[in-house]
Structure 1
Amino acid sequence: MDMKAVSAIQKFADARATSAINNYVQARPATEPTPEEPSIVQSAGKAALDFAQTLAQTEETAKQAMIGDADPHALVQALAQTELAVEAAVSVRNKVVEAYQEILRMPV
């Protein structure tokens, strides 16, 4: 092989390696988590805050209904929202307990 052929092969190999490196560098950010996505802990915290706010709003509506300042329809609607929130919280709790029990049954 002459020197021109060897030089051409080396340039081709270098260009191919550089291309592969550039492709990897461009594709790598796609596999990294984005900071905008909330974590599971943040999502659970937000859900707990929403649950607490729903309960507080229902309590306030109930107090207003007792003194005659709230519409009875608003009280029924607030109680329905609270019922849904409690059912959702109980369902999540049940799933967590089932998962914990399943982990306890795993052999060590």
Structure 2
Amino acid sequence: MDMKAVSAIQKFTNARPAAAIESYAQARPATEPTPEETPSVMESVGKVALDFAQTLQQSEETAKASMIGDADPHALVQALAQTELAVEAAVSVRNKVVEAYQEILRMPV
């Protein structure tokens, strides 16, 4: 290896950590949440419930359109897959909540 290549590699390896530290320092304030932007738990749960209901409604509309021949089969399969995923996620969350509630009931008072 010639000296120019070694020098360039050394400059690159020395400059890389410094650049990474600087970019992290600049990006860190952007990633910290501000108190006024943080939604409450009830707002988050309400948004999730609304998204779930909208997913079910869109899937139902696609299924109805498919039955009368207005939607292609691919759209129906995609809507059913989205509905299945949404229901599985809702059931998982419900199971975790029930499990946590049962753990609380088992705690000695």
What TM-score comes out, normalization by structure 2 length?
A: 0.68
Match of 1:99 in 2: 100
Provide the rounded CA distance (Å) in 1 between the counterparts of 2:46 and 2:103: 24
Which structure is larger by alpha-carbon Rg, 1 or 2? 1
Q: How many residues align?
A: 76
Alpha-carbon separation, structure 2, partners of 1:85 and 1:44: 14
List per-residue Cα deviations over 1:65-88 (Å, max 9, x = no partner): 000000110000000000000000
- Structure 1's unaligned 5+ residue stretches are 1-32
Q: What residue in structure 1 maps to residue 81 of structure 2?
A: 80
Amino acid at match of 2:55: T
Instruction: Give the residue type in structure 1 aligned to 2:36.
Output: P
One-letter amino acid of the counterpart of residue 107, structure 1: P
CA RMSD of superposed structures (Å): 0.9
Provide the residue aligned with 2:45 in structure 1: 44
For 1:7, the equivalent position in structure 2 comes to: none
State the SS of the aligned residue for 2:35.
coil
Which consecutive segments of 4 or more residues in structure 1 shift more than 6 A?
Answer: none
Shift of 1:36: 1.2
Distance in 2 between the 1:74 and 1:49 partners?
A: 22
In structure 2, stretches of 5+ residues that fail to align are 1-33
The equivalent of 1:15 in structure 2 is: none
Matches within 5 A, 1:1-108: 34-108=35-109
Partner of 1:22: none
